[in-house]
Structure 1
């Protein structure tokens, strides 16, 4: 498997884990992998009155540090713009909007470590 295919498979697996994790906590997943010319949102969810864009970062071990360390202020700003674009495209009038991040660390056969940061920007 080449690196690109491996990363896509790893990312899709992480997004599925993150979606299930969030749904168990009352989130409703509205969309996955939505994209426009400015980028892509991994997950779009509703939590109560809030429309939430969720950036999912998955790593296959601890070798490169926390997956969440890959989310920069610039990336968070782009995610906010994408969430506004998604809301416009879907005529969503949510009274609250925020950006969350979920870091998934896969550790062999053991249970994945999941870190959820709410409101990263």
Structure 2
């Protein structure tokens, strides 16, 4: 298995050249390696330098009107349910286990609405 690779699905929220935000579905390559010996090899992505990791709690009914992300970040929903709308009008719902690479750090950004109490882990990137 070591050295083999596969791809995983990744959701990304980004700005186009005019500043409008969009969702896009992408794939990321992960390669089998000895990540935590003596455990067997697992598939691992390239590393991404991070500034800090924080937990967020959004109570049910929380609404954040359109805003840009404060920095590039990877957001993973641990519990709850939320929806986010980008400036091109697309809305997506997120459930526990969903992860998104958020890169809309300028322009109108996105809005967020907690449909249930949400706990998130946010890795803020350099």
TM-score normalised by the shorter chain: which range applies?
under 0.3
The structure having more radius of gyration, on CA atoms, is: 2
Structure having greater relative contact order (Cα 8 Å, sep ≥ 6): 2
TM value normalised by structure 2: 0.22
- The structure with the greater share of residues assigned to helix is 1
TM value normalised by structure 1: 0.23
- The structure with the greater share of residues assigned to strand is 2
